[in-house]
Structure 1
């Protein structure tokens, strides 16, 4: 099992010194990866399910923040949980992701993308909320095309994006692609993970039976597309106080990575929680 940790700026705040301290602590404690969430904008009345989101939550840009983290750490992998893919132009995004990967010497390897659930957020960036799934599928194809293209250039003609003979450099560090994991708790997200993803990272409040059915849908969709389902990673959220028995139970369900977060907001308390977790699972 691999263990990542999420840094939730809406909860912890956007203080740069705290972010650096946390990232270095996570690396020191042996965590594989650090994840950052994304919301581009909020607005009064914005809800995720029944929960209204305070519009003043300090969501930093996750890619800028991960670049900042990369400059102050040496080993920890960089992840998003999740990047709202339909709200980014893939030509620009391909450059940003490859740049972080090059400057971090190959650590931008846990990109997780999702669709977003706030119609007002889509409207703010000029995206039709109803078409964001198709837009995300196309964006994934564009990212991979640009990363693999050479100096002859690549072309694309789709519903949302089109271009001719583009060359995007630099390429990812010592790689032809960056992994793209799919986030989301819907059946559409599970199918997208099987058809296009390098892994699946569901959220949501689902029953064990629903989660099992979604992972099976990921795998069957991969088989239908001629892909190897055993090559897909399966990431889930976990609790900072979870016990070994629970981790073993999740591993038996096919989970390959758990992402936890600290319940504390201050560095000393965060150190206590992360250190205890790391000792419990032999990361130190």
Structure 2
């Protein structure tokens, strides 16, 4: 398992806000994240637009998509957009990708078949990598085709020592099912699942490692991440109420019993105990998504200042000589 340090990121919920981001950058937080549907049922932003705002409104932290529903986008266009944002941010982008599907009309409206979204995502990831590598690229696949094209990211004045990351931003695969795990093992730079218990996360680690071995791929440098809905409060009952109100509607008559397995809540000490189980399962970077309608900065602050210091990477298993 790569990485001997636990780090935290924060999801900018519900929308990126300049003052909120400035406050988060003063905390021991390594990254900030936002997603965004194309045609959501509520008036929320689109992921590339939100990403542009976050790169402009931050200076230190990495900035990521959680997630970009890649099959909805033409990959040559999104490769250019992400390359330019990465270059202008000084190489601070991370790109979480997934297939979505919960809003079928999004696919219908942009002319993409819902059943094709997995294969389309795999091909689009290969296109992004080829274009970000530099030089002329030709590609002829199931969904996309072009000959002898070259992507040239912008290089802002004074950015000679920075610019886009070599090979482009890391591609982090999101999801919960077997196809997403295979995609992470074969094409991804990391694994960024959500709504998953520690035991389930441990199973995904084993699956990804097995898939990577079968593909002959070395996972050195692979990023083991978790997008985690949670609430941390001085008052543990308030935190549990936060999560029940924020996520409980989707879980029927017994939300707290079910949510307790996938959305930690409580005091800093209680949440640290739950997150340590994820660390033991393999997580090395948490994206803290405040499961609360108010006071989200307080949730992130308590997580960063009082939960993170309580976490530790397990000692490696030593094999007797």
Shared fold, TM over 0.5: yes
Larger radius of gyration: 2
CA contact (8 A) 1:80 1:112 kept: yes
- The separation in 2 between residues aligned to 1:62 and 1:25, in whole angstroms, is 22
Aligned with 1:228: secondary structure?
coil
Residue 183 of structure 2 is aligned with which of 182, 188, 192? 192
CA contact (8 A) 2:120 2:143 kept: yes
Aligned counterpart, 2:245 = none
Aligned with 2:210: secondary structure?
helix
Aligned with 1:203: secondary structure?
coil
1:114 CA displacement? 0.4
1:184 CA displacement? 0.6
* Structure 2 spans left out of the alignment, 5+ residues: 1-5, 155-162, 233-267, 311-321
CA contact (8 A) 1:40 1:59 kept: no
Q: TM-score, normalised by structure 1?
A: 0.84
Taking a change above 3 Å as real, the CA distance of residues 207 and 264 of structure 1, as seen in their structure-2 partners, is closer
- The separation in 1 between residues aligned to 2:73 and 2:273, in whole angstroms, is 40
Aligned counterpart, 1:223 = 213
The CA RMSD measured in Å over matched residues stands at: 2.0
Q: TM-score, normalised by structure 2?
A: 0.75
Aligned counterpart, 1:253 = 281
Matched pairs, number:
257
CA contact (8 A) 1:37 1:59 kept: no
- The separation in 2 between residues aligned to 1:247 and 1:207, in whole angstroms, is 10
- The separation in 1 between residues aligned to 2:301 and 2:100, in whole angstroms, is 33
> Could you report, residue by residue, the CA deviation over 1:19-61 in whole angstroms, capped at 9, with x for unpaired residues?
111111111112111111221103xxxxxxxxxxxx2x22212
CA contact (8 A) 1:94 1:143 kept: yes
CA contact (8 A) 1:145 1:154 kept: yes
Question: Structure 1 residue 92 and structure 2 residue 77: aligned?
Answer: yes
Residue 113 of structure 1 is aligned with which of 97, 118, 124? 97
Aligned counterpart, 1:59 = 44
1:124 CA displacement? 1.1
Question: Structure 1 residue 181 and structure 2 residue 186: aligned?
Answer: no
Aligned counterpart, 2:255 = none
CA contact (8 A) 2:35 2:50 kept: no
